[in-house]
Amino acid sequence: MPRLFSRLLRSPAVNFTRFQSLPPYPFPRMRALLEGLTPDDTSAALNLSVGEPQHAVPDFVTEILTREQASYNKYPPVQGTDAWQTAVAAWLTRRNNLAPGQVTAAHLVPLAGSREGLFSIGLVAINRQKQGQVPLVLSPNPFYQPYAGAAAAAGAETLYVAGSDATGGMPDYAALPKETLQRTALAFICNPSNPEGALASRAYLKQMLTLAREYDFILVGDECYSEIYHDQPPVGLMDVCGEMAADGSGTPANPFDHAVVFNSLSKRSNLAGLRSGFMAGDPRVVAETIRMRSYGGAPLPLPIQAASAAAWEEEEHVIHNRALYRRKFDLAEQYLGDKFNFQRPGGGFCVWLNVGDGEAACRTLWRKAGIKVLPGAYLARPDAAGHNPGTPYIRLVLVHDDALLEATLEKIANTL
- Least gap, CB of 72 to ligand PLP (angstroms): 22
Residue with Cβ nearer ligand PLP (190 or 244) = 190
- CB under 8 Å to 117, separation ≥6 — which residues? 109, 111, 262, 277, 278, 279, 289
- Between CA 50 and CA 308 the distance in angstroms is 23
In eight-state DSSP terms, residue 203 is H
- Least gap, CB of 131 to ligand PLP (angstroms): 29
DSSP assignment of 21-54 equals: TSPPPHHHHHHHHHTT---S--TT-EE-SS----
| Rounded alpha-carbon distances, angstroms, from residue 6 to 1, 2, 13, 15, 23 | 6, 6, 14, 19, 33
- Least gap, CB of 273 to ligand PLP (angstroms): 9
- CB under 8 Å to 137, separation ≥6 — which residues? 122, 126, 147, 150, 151, 154, 156, 157, 158, 159, 184, 185, 186, 187, 188
Residue with Cβ nearer ligand PLP (272 or 405) = 272
- Least gap, CB of 376 to ligand PLP (angstroms): 14
Q: Which residues bind ligand PLP (CB under 6 A)?
A: 51, 113-115, 144, 190, 194, 222, 224, 264, 266, 272, 277
Q: How far is CA 3 from the centre of its chain?
A: 49
- Least gap, CB of 307 to ligand PLP (angstroms): 15
Residue with Cβ nearer ligand PLP (277 or 358) = 277
- Least gap, CB of 409 to ligand PLP (angstroms): 21
Residue with Cβ nearer ligand PLP (207 or 308) = 308
- Least gap, CB of 92 to ligand PLP (angstroms): 16
Residue with Cβ nearer ligand PLP (130 or 381) = 381
Half-sphere exposure of 149 (CA within 13 A, CB side): 12
Residue with Cβ nearer ligand PLP (266 or 289) = 266
- The strand pair at 374-375 and 136-141 is best described as unpaired
Residue with Cβ nearer ligand PLP (255 or 346) = 346
- Between CA 388 and CA 382 the distance in angstroms is 4
In eight-state DSSP terms, residue 133 is B
